[in-house]
């Protein structure tokens, strides 16, 4: 959506911008494979399946027309799931400016989180085995807030968290040099 980029690029310098992974599409693909395979099995073995339940002759319930409707319904479910996943993917933004981390999520109901870099206590990146294969991960930011922030599906989460840590050290170094100058005067 690039809303944060437009908002902050004119007033502050953006240090880093996270990209979110398209591997979130695996769940709709798995649903499509399962539903498609199930309907294909019913289509091919419809007469034999109905024969197991005592219906003799031509298929009565698993007819070609009924299975076409089932296939159309399954395609609709997969299409809606893919649309929802796409909207979730493109409604997330994570940027790092010179002094803060900004995370935005949502389209109609928007959730914004602004965390000053000097308040970040712990920054974790977590990857499961599957996420390591895909090159994605989850970043957890623990700050002075009541609860940690978990940001899932970040591409190269480890590299992005190292970039945040580098910027945190620059902010703290600048803050310490300011304190040192104030003590001398």
Please give the tally of structural domains in the chain. Answer: 2
Ranges of residues in the chain with a pLDDT under 50 are none
Q: What is the pLDDT of residues 25-44, one digit of tens each?
A: 888 888 889 988 998 888 88
Do 104 and 161 share a domain, yes or no? Answer: yes
Alpha helix positions (H), 126-156: 129-134
Residues 17 and 98 in one domain: yes
List the beta bridge partners of residue 100. Answer: 116
Q: What are phi and psi of 9, to 5 degrees?
A: -65, -30
- Please write the tens of the pLDDT for every residue from 77-99: 999 989 988 888 888 999 999 98
**Phi, then psi, of 74 in degrees rounded to 5:** -65, -40
The boundaries of the domain holding residue 33 are 25-87
């Amino acid at each position: 959506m690039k809303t944060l980029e437009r908002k902050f690029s004119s007033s502050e310098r953006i240090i880093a911008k996270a990209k979110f992974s398209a591997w979130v599409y695996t769940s709709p693909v798995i649903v499509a494979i399962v539903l498609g395979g199930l309907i294909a099995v019913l289509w091919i073995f419809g007469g034999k399946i109905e024969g197991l339940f005592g219906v003799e002759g031509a298929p009565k319930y698993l007819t070609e027309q009924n299975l076409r409707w089932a296939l159309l319904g399954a395609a609709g479910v997969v299409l809606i799931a893919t649309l929802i996943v796409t909207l979730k993917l493109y409604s997330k933004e994570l940027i790092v400016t010179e002094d803060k981390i900004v995370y935005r999520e949502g389209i109609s109901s928007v959730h914004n989180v602004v965390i000053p870099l000097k308040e970040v206590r712990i920054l974790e990146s977590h990857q499961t085995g599957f996420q390591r294969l895909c090159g994605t991960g989850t970043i957890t930011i623990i700050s002075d807030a009541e609860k940690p922030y978990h940001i899932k599906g970040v591409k190269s989460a480890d590299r992005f968290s190292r970039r945040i840590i580098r910027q945190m050290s620059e902010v703290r170094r600048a803050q310490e040099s300011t304190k040192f100058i104030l003590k001398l005067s």
